[in-house]
Amino acid sequence: GNSVTQMEGPVTLSEEAFLTINCTYTATGYPSLFWYVQYPGEGLQLLLKATKADDKGSNKGFEATYRKETTSFHLEKGSVQVSDSAVYFCALKRGTSYDKVIFGPGTSLSVIP
Amino acid sequence: DAGITQSPRHKVTETGTPVTLRCHQTENHRYMYWYRQDPGHGLRLIHYSYGVKDTDKGEVSDGYSVSRSKTEDFLLTLESATSSQTSVYFCAISGEGLVSYEQYFGPGTRLTVT
């Protein structure tokens, strides 16, 4: 079946450090891949997405590349800020409209000054 | 931001009482979803809807029912609340016009069952 695996953390980084959160997936066909972010007390927000192999999604300094050969979609940011402290969810959705989104367990990130 | 609101945002209720949570969207999207979020369990799908009066069960549907009489509203009902249903509940929407049918989430409802 379809599934998403990601490092669970928590991850603690100093401000301006480089961030990588690993995400790998198992799916048949060609799913779309997403990263969502959840700030404390809020709902999930779509951070970035990629719909086919080798696509790079980017937003707010975050990037992730859809790697079909390694079934991965790792999230990266070159210089994190305190305001990036949140929980990050990797997710996939197969191509049809009625397929459900499969979420990973989430990775908690704390950035300290 | 996608036009999704949830009401109430916070609720405390007693075991055995019925509870209804409302999700309202202004995007005219076809698909609507209810999730619960609990520590150690991540997001779990309760029920979803693929059109007016068309609903189906998710992975944790026991003890919950839903209704969708209008495109914009999706109601989640706990017929007889139990302490195990204490959680944060999120509504999400998706639909045509979104290339990859990604979901957009509401702000959540924190429900406490005492």
Tell me the pLDDT tens digit for each residue of B10-35. Answer: 999 999 999 999 999 999 998 999 99
Is the CB of residue B104 less than 8 Å away from at least one CB of chain A? Answer: yes
Which residues on A lie below 8 Å from B42 (Cβ)?
A: 89, 103-106
Rounded (5°) CA angle B48-A37-B76: 25
A80 CB-contact burial (10 Å; exposed 0-12 / middle 13-18 / buried 19+)? buried
**Which of A71-75, A81-85, A89-93, B39-43 shows the lowest mean pLDDT across its residues?**
B39-43
How far is B38 from chain A, CA to nearest CA, in Å? 11
Contact A97 B107 (CB under 8 A): no
Query: What mean pLDDT, rounded, does chain A reach?
Result: 92
The residue ranking higher by pLDDT, B100 or B65, is: B65
Closest CA in chain B for residue A107: B42
Q: Specify whether the CB–CB gap between A106 and A38 falls below 8 A.
A: yes
Judged against a pLDDT cut of 60, whether residue B72 lies above it is answered with yes
Query: What mean pLDDT, rounded, does chain B reach?
Result: 92
Other CB atoms within 10 Å distance of the CB of residue B114: 10
Quick check: helix, strand or coil at residue A102? strand
pLDDT digits (tens, 9 = 90+) for A34-51: 999 999 989 999 999 998
* pLDDT on residue B40: 80
Is the CB of residue B101 less than 8 Å away from at least one CB of chain A? Answer: yes
Rg (CA), chain B: 13
